[in-house]
Structure 1
Amino acid sequence: MSVVTVNYEQEGQIFDIQRFSLNDGPGIRTIVFLKGCPLSCWWCSNPESQRRRPVVLYNQAACVHCRRCESVCRQHAVTFTEDGVRHFAYDRCTGNGDCATACPTGALIMKGQHITVRALIDVLKKDRSTFRHSGGGVTLSGGDPLMQSDFSRELLKACKAQGWNTAIETEGCAEPCDVRDVIPFVDHILMDIKHMDAEKHRLFTGVSNELILNNAKQIAAFSPLTIRVPVIPKFNYSEQEIGDIARFAASLGNVKCVHLLPYHNLGENKYKMMGCEYKMNRLSVQSLGNDDLEKFRPIVEQAGVRCRIGDEDM
């Protein structure tokens, strides 16, 4: 048996660690959220993940208008009008954190940090007894872990060296070589397929789906996977569109299930905190529940694939 070496000094960028998750792979899991995503979905609940560099969130309710953030910002991304209204130029922000450090009330929140594989494994070791007793492990999410393929590969290898189960949540929009580098070290692959029409996919996510669909075929040829579908009103909330995805999933021949996820707007406030538009408000749509997706279950099953909805047991 060949020995797999791990580069424990490989550095990456993460923005959160979430413990005791039950919906992102088997058992009780710890999710590591990585920075960077090639998509900019209108409904994204983690907009702070889309940029590779750290971003700063502004909690207006905690702001005392001391203007210290304005005085330390070297990019002049923060300005105040004479009547005390704060303006933030998101595109100018470099995420160096000077403003958050200067803020006396915690109104500015840094999202993103550099960390080595070694340091992250030390953090994850705190949950090893949970992994052992529940059959859980570590899930990489984001953003999209494939955007940091070198870091994801080494982190997954390090997790396997600890004997932990591994999973990855991915959009699949990455160079095929990056996919091939990472997937061999993953036990469970959860991949999003949002729409089968390339132009509608581009309109709502910023990119075509061509590379995603090709990578789904490549991954399915290597390993079983779960296809996840965020079900979004006025985007793919129809029997035809869900049916098209289910039939594509069935054609891959190695899909465990199609997991339908109801739309919610829980991330909307983050856009406000980043000074960005939440585009779903243009559509005037409401959040969905599991019951709203039940009508799609027979359509998915008729395509020959098991259907899971929302937080149903895996």
Structure 2
Amino acid sequence: MQDKEQAGIVFNVQKYSLHDGAGIRTMVFLKGCPLRCAWCSNPESQRPQPERAFNRYKCLSPAVCGYCIPACPRSCIFDIEGLLAIDHAGCSGCLLCARACPTGAMTVYGATRTVAEVLDLVEQDAVFYARSGGGMTLSGGEAMQQPDFAVALLREARRRHVNTVLETCGHCDGDALEEACRHLDSLLFDIKHLSTDTHKEGTGVGNERILENFLRVCAAFPSLPIIVRTPVIPGFNDTEADIRAIARFLPKRANLVHELLPYHRMGQAKYEFLGRAFPMGGAQLADGTLNRLRSVALAR
């Protein structure tokens, strides 16, 4: 199969991104992630398959519309006192309700796209990439959860002279990650915590594989620019000791940067759309914490 015919599941293509690699970029978000970070701002990315979401603010009400109710073969959608209610546990994921919805209140996160279809969208903004040094960034979820698709996208993008960046959590097959790195202009690599026990508490998995893959990539690709990203999360890694441990772990090389990202709750509404509770509640960083920890990271 040619790379351009390879297919995968994409849940968003976001144009004009300015924070995920050099210049103006198009972000391609792939479905599936091995982590379950409590602070995840893209919960729709976690499960590998397309999934239904419901935005009650767009719903016309069962009295006015109600097309989704008979569309559900499992009778998981109800009219309760004039409002739409969903039995999320009983949902089979058939997505027939979303197809029946005329307003977009019921929608689907994730669709099968080929490499050619994705890159045709990406290349629509080629003029902006040429002027700014931008290009395509693969993200997720975890892009390397779909390794064949991700590598095919990167390889075909390079054939089309599109600058390529991969954002990864590092919890993936090391051979596949190496193959992806051969087709990158730069790499964004998340390192969230140095304690494997704490990492598992916050993300659902330990960090051994992540750190092993990071060191492997550093050794195999000494010329590849790497930005190590650490999201600063209240109660998880927001102490000087946490950040200092990560900073001291990183190899000293001119083309490696350690970047701390601020905690935010911008994805909180998506949890409601998916029928899930937001794990972080009202947690927030204390004033001044991020700037103080950025000084610690720079001191490595």
TM-score (norm 1): 0.88
Match of 1:296 among 293, 297, 300: 293
Instruction: For residues 277-307 of structure 1, give each alpha carbon's deviation from its aligned partner in whole angstroms, at most 9, with x where no partner exists.
Output: 11101xx412577x5311123321221xxxx
SS across alignment from 1:172:
coil
Give me the whole-angstrom Cα distance separating, in 2, the residues matched to 1:239 and 1:287.
13
- Tell me whether 1:190 sits opposite 2:188 in the alignment: yes
Q: Is the 8 A contact 2:238 2:289 kept in 1?
A: no
Instruction: For residues 29-85 of structure 1, give each alpha carbon's deviation from its aligned partner in whole angstroms, at most 9, with x where no partner exists.
Output: 111111111011111111001111111221112221244323222344x33265345
Match of 2:54 among 47, 53, 58: 58
SS across alignment from 1:53:
coil
Instruction: For residues 11-35 of structure 1, give each alpha carbon's deviation from its aligned partner in whole angstroms, at most 9, with x where no partner exists.
Output: 0110111111111111111111111
Match of 1:219 among 217, 220, 227: 217
Instruction: For residues 247-286 of structure 1, give each alpha carbon's deviation from its aligned partner in whole angstroms, at most 9, with x where no partner exists.
Output: 11236x57611110000001111001110011101xx412
Q: Is the 8 A contact 1:196 1:241 kept in 2?
A: yes
1:92, distance to aligned residue in structure 2 (A): 4.6
Give me the whole-angstrom Cα distance separating, in 1, the residues matched to 2:124 and 2:163.
15
Q: Which residue matches 2:279?
A: 279
- Name the Cα RMSD after superposition: 2.0
SS across alignment from 1:280:
coil
Q: Which residue matches 1:16?
A: 12
SS across alignment from 1:185:
coil
1:118-267 aligned at under 5 Å gives the runs 118-223=116-221, 224=224, 225-250=226-251, 253=253, 256-267=256-267
Instruction: For residues 210-265 of structure 1, give each alpha carbon's deviation from its aligned partner in whole angstroms, at most 9, with x where no partner exists.
Output: 111111111111234111000001110000001111111236x5761111000000
Q: Which residue matches 2:99?
A: 101
TM-score (norm 2): 0.92
Mind listing any 5+ residue stretches in structure 1 that lack a counterpart? 304-314
Q: Is the 8 A contact 2:7 2:149 kept in 1?
A: yes
Instruction: For residues 182-220 of structure 1, give each alpha carbon's deviation from its aligned partner in whole angstroms, at most 9, with x where no partner exists.
Output: 111111100111111111111111111111111111111
SS across alignment from 2:22:
coil
Mind listing any 5+ residue stretches in structure 2 that lack a counterpart? none
Q: Which residue matches 1:306?
A: none
Instruction: For residues 151-201 of structure 1, give each alpha carbon's deviation from its aligned partner in whole angstroms, at most 9, with x where no partner exists.
Output: 011111111011111001110100112212211111110011111111111
Q: Which residue matches 2:30?
A: 34
Identical pairs, percent: 39
Alpha-carbon spacing, 1:142–1:250, altered in 2? closer, same or farther (3 Å) = same
SS across alignment from 2:157:
helix
Alpha-carbon spacing, 1:91–1:255, altered in 2? closer, same or farther (3 Å) = farther
Give me the whole-angstrom Cα distance separating, in 2, the residues matched to 1:245 and 1:188.
20
Alpha-carbon spacing, 1:55–1:288, altered in 2? closer, same or farther (3 Å) = farther
Give me the whole-angstrom Cα distance separating, in 2, the residues matched to 1:211 and 1:91.
32
Q: Is the 8 A contact 1:55 1:94 kept in 2?
A: no
Give me the whole-angstrom Cα distance separating, in 2, the residues matched to 1:165 and 1:67.
46
Give me the whole-angstrom Cα distance separating, in 2, the residues matched to 1:279 and 1:294.
25
SS across alignment from 2:5:
coil
SS across alignment from 2:289:
helix
Q: Is the 8 A contact 1:264 1:288 kept in 2?
A: no
Alpha-carbon spacing, 1:75–1:244, altered in 2? closer, same or farther (3 Å) = farther
